[in-house]
Amino acid sequence: MRHVNGVYTQRYNRRREIDGPLFRGRYKSVLIEQDSHLLELLRYIHRNPFRANMCKTVADYDWSSHQGFLSKSRKWDWLSKQLLLDMLSDKPGTAKKEYLKFVQGEDSLAITELYSKKNLASVFGSKDFAHWVKEKYYELKKHPEVPQSRQLAPTISEIKKAVSQSFKIKEITLDQTKRGQVNEPRNLAIFLARKISGLKLEEISKEFGLGSYSSVSSIVTRTERLLAKNKPLCIRMAQIKDKISKSQAKT
């Protein structure tokens, strides 16, 4: 996609003596749970021009791989289509007939709801699948090529709520600090925010009313050392993370 958005666009513009972006928006990917979801996405994409009234039938749109799924021509050898066709039938002729019938059908309610959202979801599947993905991957550092990955991470508000419930204190306590006194729940909330929220140090410092981002680093370092030797606190943190994860799966 980087090649298409970059190199191809540059060549296209030079050839036509124009300037500016060629494609609207950036490439977006969706993690799917089942093979059937992949077929639904295929149908949605191939029906897009028809849905937008750009053609009378799906087959009328020239800039689509739809014809490639039906053609035997070697010019379509570049197209990875066998996996999808095999989902419909292990017989090539039958698979193409089933594909044509499938594409001519209406989009499912699930796929319609997915693309009707203002911000495209990064996961397409059941709630249990979304929960598994968030639980497994939200602690990874956010990849610069995946801006939507922050959707997998909990918010500061969710972290504060889980910590305050665990310690049975008011959330406002997590925003308070007194000289010479250690606010263990507050420090743990800051530690979790740094590890699983996906926010930058500056953002976390503002959320907790800290003077600078360096204060966040200091608290995180101290909390890491404390967790290494304080087993009860380590167990409590694990319970809080589990609670946050389950809460995320419901969103």
Please list the pLDDT of the chain residue by residue as tens digits (251 residues): 677 778 888 888 999 999 888 877 666 778 888 888 889 999 999 999 999 999 999 999 999 999 999 998 999 999 999 989 999 998 989 999 999 999 999 888 888 888 887 777 778 888 778 777 766 665 554 454 444 555 567 889 999 999 999 999 999 989 887 777 889 999 999 999 988 887 888 889 988 988 788 888 889 999 999 999 999 999 999 999 888 877 665 55
Q: Is the pTM of this model over 0.75?
A: no
Domains of the chain, earliest start first: 1-28 (no CATH), 33-124 (no CATH), 132-249 (1.10.1750.10)
Q: What is the pLDDT of residue 153?
A: 72
CB contact at 8 A, 176 and 170: no
CB contact at 8 A, 149 and 143: yes
Q: Which alpha helices (H) appear in 80-196, and where do they start and end? A: 82-88, 92-104, 109-116, 127-137, 156-167, 184-196
Look up tokens 């918010």; give the residue.
Answer: 155
Q: How far apart are the first and last CA of the chain?
A: 30
Q: What is the pLDDT of residue 141?
A: 45
Q: Quick one: residue 212, left, alpha or beta (phi over 0 = left, psi -120 to 50 = alpha)? A: beta
Q: What is the pLDDT of residue 124?
A: 84
Q: Which alpha helices (H) appear in 168-212, and where do they start and end? A: 184-196, 201-207
Q: Which alpha helices (H) appear in the chain, and where do they start and end? A: 2-3, 9-16, 35-51, 66-70, 82-88, 92-104, 109-116, 127-137, 156-167, 184-196, 201-207, 213-229, 231-249
